[in-house]
């Protein structure tokens, strides 16, 4: 499997994993996951569970020639750097060797109204702390539209109190970007310790020759 084939498979896997965890989000939003903290824990738990289920059934891994492994670790309360989640992604194949960490601050927002002045100030402070460490930082937004992401640089630049005034990245494309090296910090010295949630995802080529190689998900 060459680098292009591997990236195509990672993209398709990201969309399958993203669509399934997004489906679980819509099923549970405002019900089983009543607040921001509960949503964050449950969402990334669902993400890891979906990856483990796919790998256990050997379904997606055989289709794209890639096997994913994932693990979630819950740690202490939100650290001083303002981040809720680290997503660590790694792949060590002959043609694709990558190890990154994407830093995430989660926010649950109402489409019908902007943030309060207090919430906006708090978010700005959190983003400032994250960006002081690494620009590979993002706001993950939960709303009735689903899960979307916004680079912390863009969120900090936006001076309105409505994050939806900026163009968002869909959850599926966000995961694809992480899997394919379009985002993520490579220098561990820029990362503080002890986020609230630490997710590790490892990709490796499966032993069988892939049956589908073209990038199909998301257009």
- Residue 22 resides in a domain: yes
For 87-104, how does the pLDDT look when each residue is reduced to its tens digit (9 = 90+)?
999 999 998 999 999 999
Q: What is the mean pLDDT of residues 53-77?
A: 76
96 within a domain of the structure (yes/no): yes
For residue 42, being part of any structural domain is answered with yes
> What average pLDDT does the segment 125-134 reach?
90
Task: With H, G, I as helix, E, B as strand and everything else as coil, classify residue 182.
Answer: coil
Q: Is residue 217 part of a domain?
A: no
Q: Across residues 41-51, what is the average pLDDT?
A: 89
Range of the domain at 183: 3-205
Provide the domain count of the chain: 1
- Bigger pLDDT: 70 or 62? 70
State how far the Cα of 176 lies from the Cα of 169, in Å rounded to an integer. Answer: 11
Of the chain, the end-to-end C-alpha distance in Å amounts to 22
Give the closest residue to 204 by CA, choosing from 57, 72, 90.
Answer: 90
Residue 28 lies in a domain: yes
Work out the pLDDT band at 54, boundaries 50, 70, 90: confident
Determine, yes or no, domain membership for 213: no
What's the order of all strands across the beta sheet hosting 85-93? 66-74, 197-205, 85-93, 96-108, 137-143, 146-151, 169-170
User: Is residue 39, in this structure, part of any structural domain at all?
Assistant: yes
Structural domain contains residue 199: yes
**pLDDT tens figures, 4-27:** 999 999 999 999 999 998 888 888
Say what the pTM is: 0.86
How many helices (H) and strands (E) the chain has is answered by 6, 7
Share of the chain above pLDDT 70, in %: 84
Give me the pLDDT at residue 55, please: 75
- For range 178-183, the mean pLDDT: 96
Distance, in Å, from the CA atom of 105 to the CA atom of 22, rounded to the nearest integer, reads 18
pLDDT bracket for residue 210 (50, 70, 90)? very low
Residue 35's SS3 state is coil
């Amino acid at each position: 499997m060459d680098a292009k084939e591997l990236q195509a498979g990672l993209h398709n896997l990201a969309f399958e994993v993203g669509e399934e965890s997004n489906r679980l989000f819509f099923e549970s939003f405002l019900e089983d996951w009543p607040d921001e903290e509960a949503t964050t824990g449950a969402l990334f738990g669902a993400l890891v569970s979906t990856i483990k289920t796919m790998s256990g059934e050997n379904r997606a891994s055989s289709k794209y020639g890639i096997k994913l492994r994932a693990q979630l670790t819950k740690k202490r309360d939100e650290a001083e750097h303002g981040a809720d989640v680290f997503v660590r992604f790694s792949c060590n194949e002959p043609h694709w060797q990558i190890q990154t960490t994407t830093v995430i601050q989660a926010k649950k927002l109402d489409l019908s109204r902007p943030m309060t002045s207090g919430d906006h100030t708090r978010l700005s402070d959190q983003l400032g702390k994250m960006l002081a460490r690494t620009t590979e930082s993002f706001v993950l937004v939960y709303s009735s539209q689903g899960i979307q992401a916004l680079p912390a640089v863009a969120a900090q630049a936006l001076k309105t109190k409505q994050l939806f005034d900026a163009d968002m990245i869909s959850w599926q494309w966000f995961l694809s970007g992480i899997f394919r090296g379009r985002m993520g910090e490579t220098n561990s010295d820029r990362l503080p310790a002890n986020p609230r949630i630490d997710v590790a995802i490892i990709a490796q080529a499966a032993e069988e020759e892939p049956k589908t190689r073209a990038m199909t998900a998301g257009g």
